[in-house]
Chain A
Amino acid sequence: MNDVNLTSEQRAERLQGMGCKRKRVEDIRFVQGKGNYVDDLKLPGMLYGDFTRSPHGHARVKKIDTSKAAALPGVIAVLTAETLKTVNLAWMPTLAGDVQMVLADGKVLYQNQEVAFVIAEDRYTAADAADLVEVEYEPLPVNVDPLKAMAPDAPMIREDLKDKTDGAHGKRNHYNHVFNWQAGDKAATDAAFAKADVTIKELIVYPRVHPCPLETCQCVASFDKIRGELTLWGTFQAPHVIRTVGSLISKIPEHKIHVIAPDIGGGFGNKVGAYSGYICAIVASIVTGRPVKWVEDRIENLTTTAFARDFHMETEIAATKDGKVTALRCYTIADHGAFDACANATKWPAGLFSIISGSYDFPAAHVSVDGVYTNKAPGGVAYRCSFRVTEAAYAIERAMDILAQKLGMDPAELRMKNLIRREQFPYTSAFGWQYDSGDYHVALQKAMDTVGYKKLREEQKAKQDAFKRGETRELMGIGVAFFTEIVGAGPSRACDILGIAMFDSAEIRIHPTGTGICRLGTKSQGQGHETTYAQIIATELGLPADNITVEEGNTDTAPYGLGTYGSRSTPVSGAATAMACRKIKAKAQMIAAYMLEVHDDDLEWDVDRFRVKGNPERFKTMTELAWAAYHEVPPGMEPGLEAVNYYDPPNMTYPFGAYICVVDVDVDTGVTKVRRFYALDDCGTRINPMIIEGQIHGGLTEAFGIAMGQEIHYDEDGNVTTGSFLDYFLPTAVETPKWETDWTTTPSPHHPIGAKGVGESPNVGGVPCFANAVNDAFAFLGSTHIPMPHDHWRTWMAADKLGLHAS
């Protein structure tokens, strides 16, 4: 190819750098069934583990008899808490500073809790033997209601904490209390409420849901007794954290643990934590000297590994009579289940929930969150959102609609009136967050113009009139949501996990022929990192994206990083990638100057080359410079062309968006049809628009599932009643609406390439948008808040409660 005849634009296009819809590298293996997922792994002599689980929500374990299970041919061993105690592993630390039973020790605290771990020659025998473990239980009173957890006579969940008045996050006020966490200015907030013209107050409950990736959690542990080394393959969103935690728990030196996360079949937060299955597989491999595989089934996944939400948010807004918000107050009870195994940055027991002031200019605000223990599974992960951000967005966006209703204002107009203005950025919120950039009014206006908002409201009014006249049984709802996320955790001054600062990393090595490899501390679970990181490098270094291999997930080769969740890969590792590229480029520039016999400063960058200023015919391409780096470096310079960057972000990033949804509700059946859903996202600089759009589609579909049907529900005896796909709603292609996507671009000023992160925003904005649409359909009848999920039955019930059905 003759470079001389190509324009800069043509050369840039050839690179497939940032901004282009590059087809995904990963797909070649996935479409042929040649992905490499954990359960695909088969090692010589591999054994299989399976759990015996508790049928009770709360019970004392009187006796465990493993003799029948152990006697079954093909069974190698059975582990219980007693056996784990011999290696001091009956309990393990959680990411939230609590401890958690690996196997039931004296009590079971929730249904399906792990009681014994059976290891057998094949998975069928392991399942048989798990059924043969005989456990004698004495049932105890059960509490699954977080609002009753701190009652004086509530069943005590955690006897191990009985006398502990202090937890990992300060004082505990009750034996079922985990923590109290507050943010904002209480006095100023209370004062603003005292003199407010108008106030609203609503208990807004975000039910317990589950991220439910299509691949469940699983691992293979292989301990090499001769070397004293453990290799652990697993579904890990954060492989390095698993290695460090694994080392701290097992006392195996960290350099003797090799954690490998191969292809992951979706994560959505479910695969951040450390689970009993991992610990048991490790112990089983150490005990037997053979590799041990553990694979969750779907029921186990939905009922035991890392739920999300379960936030009960009493939300209040104070405002002037013309609709200017003056204060926000929120008191939340957070149900953490039986152990506090919440996946948050360690200093933030309620995550980044204080983003609850949202996109609005609140002069004063205060939140207080009490975490409580109940007889439910532990967890509390961010299901496709940054830590507790979707809870916050749901509360504020519902509350703004309720305020609009009380004021008799249009919900969009109320938002327009209170959105943070462009000239206020960088904006410090009432909770102290520094929003990096935004142009909110333009985004909302664009959304309203695109959907024809005014016309939709006119149509709705006409339909309401027709409904009142008895001419139709259908109601129309228009949902508006404007959200601001807080992602890219995070600055080391604010964020750590068990003391490890939440930086992330990239290590780039350019080979002599101008190809290269980039290794990172993050881990894709479907986001397409192998494609997009290479695009950043292509633009930064002028090497074709196709010539860059991107590798993640192997702790032996990847630089240390905190993994992929909370939309942090692009804001943190994306920045590290750009910064590492810039180190490489600086060195390449010196080599170019040496070769062209000019001063460094006499060179300028042109897409894929350094050229002499004023003499563009004289240049060295990056490919040429890569070769030169290995044989022709200036005297005194180290050969080679590689760099590593550990990026500690100066701030979080604040993606935002404006969503509008139109639904039609049949009041006699509760059937709710999504007529239209428009999503405008601003994630700053866009790396691959095709992948962004795909992420938005997927996130909206998850939001649709949550808002319209998902709930992990417990009956009062502690039985999970929605523990399989028979009753836990996952949308199919039939129910899923068609999505319209759009964007504005407001780069982050503090990020090297201006990117803010994307993928979780549709969950954050989508859930309140659906909820607002359904609520809006009924608002003219005086209804203020119908809680999620908005399935047909509940919607029918809501209509019934409003007296819309003939008696």
Chain B
Amino acid sequence: MAKTHITLKVNGKTVEALVEPRMLLIHFLREQLNLTGPHIGCETSHCGACTVDLDGKSVKSCTMFAVQANGAEVVTIEGMANADGTLHVLQEAFREMHGLQCGFCTPGMITRAHRLLQENSNPSEEEIRLGISGNLCRCTGYQNIVKAVQYAAAKLNGVAFQEAAE
């Protein structure tokens, strides 16, 4: 199958590649760029394990072709850590609040939470739940994920994190 030339920025680095027009962005990231952080959990855009950030929006990279990302700026979980290699506050928050178990949904969940906090720096619990509802988790029951996002929001806003009374 004829291949198409694409140029895009992934985690801050410019990438050029030849891809089949039908290649999904998730396969391009995972198999050509070896960025195996984003995962594949379904093929119907429901689970969100493949979520990446594309031009400032959360997208499900399993339902988008790599050629559609031509010229775009993509950030995956691998691009989330701070420049000095320390964990991003959301990564730290998920660990601190026990917001993950098997880890399979985690890259997509953190990437999505990151965008959510860009859109709304101080979301309510309800807004967080709605904001991550495109990302399924089978292990945690979401309660600690919500807490992790609240923890990160508090830290980013420079205020003390207070756990809501149970």
Contact segment of A131-139, A727-735, A775-783: A727-735
Interface string of B130-166 (1 = CB under 8 A from A): 1011111111111111100000000000000000001
Q: How far is the CB of B93 from chain A (nearest CB, A)?
A: 9
Q: How far is the CB of A261 from chain B (nearest CB, A)?
A: 13
Counting CB contacts under 8 A, is B104 at the interface?
A: yes
A-B contacts counted at CB < 8 A amount to 179
Q: How many angstroms from the CA of A581 to the CA of B94 in the assembled complex?
A: 32
Asked whether B141 lies within 8 Å of A31 as measured between CB atoms, the reply is no
Counting CB contacts under 8 A, is A212 at the interface?
A: yes
State which of A33, A123, A526 has its C-beta within 8 Å of the C-beta of B102: A526
Q: How many angstroms from the CA of A698 to the CA of B139 in the assembled complex?
A: 5
Counting CB contacts under 8 A, is A690 at the interface?
A: yes
Assuming the contacts A214-B105, A726-B46, asked whether A31 and B129 have C-beta atoms less than 8 A apart, the reply is no
Residue of chain A at shortest CB distance from B94: A31
Residue of chain B at shortest CB distance from A301: B42
State which of A268, A528, A730, A738 has its C-beta within 8 Å of the C-beta of B136: A730
Counting CB contacts under 8 A, is A697 at the interface?
A: yes
Counting CB contacts under 8 A, is B84 at the interface?
A: no
Contact segment of A37-45, A426-434, A612-620: A37-45
State which of A30, A298, A528 has its C-beta within 8 Å of the C-beta of B43: A298
Number of interface residues of A (CB under 8 A): 58
Residue of chain A at shortest CB distance from B42: A298
Assuming the contacts A31-B87, A31-B106, A124-B22, asked whether A298 and B101 have C-beta atoms less than 8 A apart, the reply is no
State which of B80, B101, B136 has its C-beta within 8 Å of the C-beta of A698: B101
Asked whether B46 lies within 8 Å of A27 as measured between CB atoms, the reply is no
Counting CB contacts under 8 A, is B36 at the interface?
A: yes
Interface string of A731-771 (1 = CB under 8 A from B): 01110101110000000000000000000000000000000
Interface string of B81-124 (1 = CB under 8 A from A): 10000010001101110101111111100100000000000000
Which of A32, A525, A699, A733: most chain B CB closer than 10 A?
A: A733
Counting CB contacts under 8 A, is A664 at the interface?
A: no
Asked whether A32 lies within 8 Å of B81 as measured between CB atoms, the reply is yes
Counting CB contacts under 8 A, is A26 at the interface?
A: yes
Asked whether B39 lies within 8 Å of A32 as measured between CB atoms, the reply is no
Assuming the contacts A214-B49, A265-B39, A299-B43, asked whether A31 and B104 have C-beta atoms less than 8 A apart, the reply is no
State which of A28, A298, A697 has its C-beta within 8 Å of the C-beta of B140: A697
Asked whether B98 lies within 8 Å of A24 as measured between CB atoms, the reply is yes
Residue of chain B at shortest CB distance from A74: B1
Counting CB contacts under 8 A, is A725 at the interface?
A: yes
Counting CB contacts under 8 A, is B23 at the interface?
A: yes
Q: How many angstroms from the CA of A725 to the CA of B106 in the assembled complex?
A: 19
Report chain B residues within 8 Å CB of A690: 98
Q: How far is the CB of B143 from chain A (nearest CB, A)?
A: 5
A-B pairs, top 9 by smallest CB distance, nearest first, are A33-B37, A526-B102, A265-B104, A30-B103, A697-B141, A33-B77, A701-B141, A725-B46, A526-B101
> A residues touching B (Cβ–Cβ < 8 Å)?
23-24, 26-35, 37, 39-40, 42, 123-124, 212-216, 263-266, 268, 295, 297-299, 525-528, 690-691, 693-695, 697-702, 724-726, 730, 732-734, 736, 738-740
Sampled A-B contacts (27; CB under 8 Å): A23-B96, A31-B92, A32-B78, A33-B76, A33-B106, A34-B37, A35-B103, A40-B30, A214-B41, A215-B102, A265-B41, A266-B138, A298-B41, A526-B103, A691-B98, A694-B98, A694-B139, A694-B141, A698-B139, A699-B141, A724-B43, A725-B136, A730-B46, A732-B136, A733-B132, A733-B135, A739-B141
